[in-house]
Amino acid sequence: MKPNLKTILTSAILICTLALSVHGADTAIDTSGYRMERNGVNVTVDGWDYEGEVYKVNNTAYVGLREFACYADNSVVSWNEDSLTATVTTDSLTLSAVENRRSLDANGRILWCEFGVFRIDDALYVPLRQIAQAFGFDAVYIGSENRTYLTRHRGAIESGDTYYDEEELHWLSRIIHAESRGEPFLGKLAVGTVILNRVDAPQFPDTIYGVIFDNRNGTQFTPTANGTIYQTPGEDSVMAAKICLEDTRLSDEILYFLNRRIASSFWIVENCRFVMEIGGHSFYAP
């Protein structure tokens, strides 16, 4: 593929267009509690060793956005200092990474980044698996080798316009908004997780719409009774719905949640196992 990978990688970086600011963000993700190891993961791309910087961050491989984008494709990368957004463009991909945000937008697909997007030594770093997915690589990690193998079997990631089912996104974003519009973003993801876990569980309907409007044992979700399910969702709720539809789950167990302060029934508390609490909601498994 590349007889002198380091030379060509360096050349690719030089011809890319990128102007990342060297100033830190005012509200940067606090990485002080992260476990960071430079060159802590080996990466092979289509049979060749990747020579860009790779960090292991809490056991997740991270790469420099500029280095990887310029190596992976003929990319143009630009920086907006006002919004702290790096934008990568190729013939088939438009990707944006916002410093301090916990997701990437790739062709309208929202990819969850658990530990966020942040700077290391004035370079913007993103999770390897997510940016590899955006560029069309399959990723396989071999623990015994401490190595991630990237193999390109397709073009850039399918666009959100064709990937997300319109009806599923419509109803999932609305139930997330109606149930958690005042909750933190993780709380929104947790509500979406409950809905999709129910879709997969045999005791519940097998569609998002069916789960939300299920009334075989009484109203399951108050917004379907008071009409708030029909409100237009906010941007965060739509993003949370898209992340959930990417098969991101905060837990495979949770099927129930309630706000203890306003709940009129405590059947869940009395009959289910507590798993976690996010914001005003407590989440339970059977």
**In the prediction, which pLDDT does 106 show?**
98
Six-digit token string for 47: 């049979």
Residues forming a β-bridge with 88:
77, 95
Give per-residue pLDDT as tens, 213-230.
Answer: 998 877 889 999 999 999
- Residue 284, both tokens: 């339970």
* Secondary structure string (H, E, C) spanning 135-176: HCEEEEEEHHHCEEEEEECCCCCCCHHHHCCHHHHHHHHHHH
Q: Check whether 185 has a pLDDT greater than 70.
A: yes
At 264 the pLDDT is 65
pLDDT in tens, 233-245: 999 999 999 999 9
Does 93 have pLDDT greater than 70?
A: yes
Most distant CA atoms of the chain, gap in Å: 68
pLDDT at 28: 63
Domain covering 5-161 in this structure, CATH number: 3.30.457.10
pLDDT in the model for residue 262: 76
Query: Which CATH code fits 164-285?
Result: 1.10.10.2520
pTM of the model: 0.86
Q: What is the pLDDT of residues 45-54, one digit of tens each?
A: 999 999 999 9
Block residue for tokens 């569980």: 201
Mean of the per-residue pLDDT values of the chain:
88
Domain chopping of the chain, boundaries:
5-161, 164-285
Provide the sign of the torsion angle of the four alpha carbons 228, 232, 235, 237, taken in this order: positive
User: Percent of the chain having pLDDT more than 90?
Assistant: 75
* pLDDT attached to residue 8: 33
Which of these, 110, 120, 5, 11, lies nearest to 65 by C-alpha position? Answer: 120
Report how far residue 175's alpha carbon sits from residue 222's, in angstroms, rounded to the nearest whole number: 10
Q: Quick check: do 5-161 and 164-285 share a fold?
A: no
Tell me, what's the pLDDT at 113? 96
Whole-angstrom distance, CA of residue 187 vs CA of residue 183: 6
Asked if residue 163 has pLDDT above 80, the reply is: yes
Ordered DSSP codes for 176-211: HHHHHTTS-HHHHHHHHHHHHHHHHSTTS-SSHHHH
Summarize pLDDT for 63-81 with one digit per residue, the tens.
999 999 998 888 999 999 9
Residue 266: is its pLDDT beyond 80?
A: no
